[in-house]
Copies of this chain bind each other. A is one copy, B any other.
Amino acid sequence: MAKVKKQPRPKAEPPKGFRDYFGPEVTQRKAMLEQIAKVYHLYGFEALESSAVETVEALGKFLPDVDRPNEGVFAWQEDEADWLALRYDLTAPLARVYAQHRNDLPTPYRRYAMGPVWRDEKPGPGRFRQFYQCDADTVGAASVAADAEICSMLSDTLEAVGIPRGDYICRVNNRKVLNGVMEVAGVLDPADPGRLSHERGIVLRAIDKLDRLGFDGVRALLGEGRKDESGDFTKGAGLSAEQADTVMAFMEAKRSDGPATVARLRELVGASETGKQGVQELETIAELMDAQGYGADRIEVDPSVVRGLGYYTGPVFEAELTFEIHDEKGRPRQFGSVAGGGRYDDLVKRFTGQAVPATGISIGVDRLLAALHAKGRLHAEVRGPVVVTVMDRDRMAAYQSMVGELRAAGIRAEVYLGNPKNFGNQLKYADKRRSPVAIIEGSDEAARGVLQIKDLVLGAKIAETATHEEWKDQPAQREVARGDLVAEVRKILAGEA
């Protein structure tokens, strides 16, 4: 019999495009989710957690930047039955949940949700296939007051997580205005909305790429197409020069203030009923925001915002951080968008056949964290636990009692549980954990009822600056009575804080 081939060792790495988060990365994200949830809750939204897995048919095909069906999601088939997939956002699951539970839920249903979403996309630097979103949506409210509220809440939320006013801007636009412009350009016929929908999809995605491609790049995609730096050609929407001019005029319609922009948009949509309705909605939102004191320093009408997702039907929102950061190579760049959303009145209808108006926002929590990190505004918890070292293996129970006392006093503490043979390794461990204090008790100390307490923060400072003689005095290490353990450790921690 042939020998069984030995299995090769598995590779110790996550799948491509996935990563691990350690210590403060986890707790900082948790804290941010908590802060966002607090604002959402204050606004009357209720928590919802749907499962990570949905049927492919429930998710539908609404991903941006995706032209091929099924691309973009991680999907698999269950025993020749349903296809299942990981959710790619929190909006599609909400539509499913609302359709399912609509008779039991209040209307309007205001819910917030937070958690990872997954995209089967080509990973890139800083671009991962699992990332966190934190959403709030109002389902069952047709009023633009619901959209306006989402905008003010977005603004409040950004300030709550530590982005000061002036460092962000919430932009508002309306898909109906774009559709009005498309009517004027002859790319949308209200009597036959299915015609040219493929071309309109290309227009939408082209506009959404404005910050990456610039006006010339977008213009090329409105026409025949565009060759990128690598030489790859992307087919365009095939609009005539005149048609493309009309669309470009829409993108460049932003004026010095909201009313002027709205006036310009009113010109552009001409006689289109949809377009006029969109402009009217934008105007109402702007008025509501103004009345509540959310001025142009926080929220502005910006026709270049369209959002890539196919399901938006009215107002669309985007929050952008306006400060500069430096990339890995030290080059300054704008941080860009950290949140986006809009009104999607047809998502629930897919399930029920009845139109249900809905609007909401999704905050890209990981991008927001990266922004705060880049600005030096995240202070990692650096203090590790108090480490009780092991001088004498047989006294393990005594060491465990010490950490028990410290923990009972609310002080983070642990016994060194590695191989205690080499005492230097124990101190190196405490150093790596950024421990503020090490406790040392050998049999000599035990017999005398005392402990050595080592102030590791002070010790590190002395080690940096002291002469050899001063170092030998070891003022960072003191002998204290065993009974004073908690009090003495507390003193050091207080002095350090």
Contact = CB atoms under 8 A, between A and B. Distances in A.
Given A26-B47, A84-B15, A292-B401, A412 B351 contact: no
Contact of A417 (B42, B49, B141): B141
The prevalent SS among residues of A at the interface is mixed
A418 B54 contact: no
B50 A145 contact: no
Given A97-B20, A107-B418, A352 B12 contact: yes
B429 A107 contact: yes
Given A10-B350, A396-B288, A50 B20 contact: yes
A273 interface: no
Given A22-B47, A101-B20, A108 B417 contact: yes
A419 interface: yes
Contacts of A84: 15, 74
A416 B416 CA distance: 58
Interface string A376-405: 000000001101000000001110110010
A415 B29 CA distance: 30
Interface stretch (A55-63, A306-314, A458-466): A55-63
B22 A130 contact: no
Interface in A105-153: 106-108, 110, 116, 118, 129-130, 138, 140-143, 145-146, 148-149, 152
A234 interface: no
A130 B397 contact: no
A471 interface: no
Interface string A81-112: 01010100000000011011100001110100
Interface string A262-299: 00000000000000000000000001100111000000
A149 B48 contact: no
A408 B355 CA distance: 35
Contacts of A86: 52-53
Contacts of A25: 49
A55 B15 contact: yes
Contacts of A419: 142
A11 B57 contact: yes
Given A108-B417, A146-B417, A49 B20 contact: yes
Given A44-B385, A288-B400, A15 B100 contact: no
Given A60-B10, A96-B12, A74 B53 contact: yes
Contact of A415 (B11, B149, B418): B149
15 contacts: A10-B350, A18-B51, A20-B50, A21-B49, A26-B49, A30-B47, A42-B411, A43-B385, A43-B412, A52-B118, A107-B418, A142-B419, A152-B404, A287-B397, A292-B401
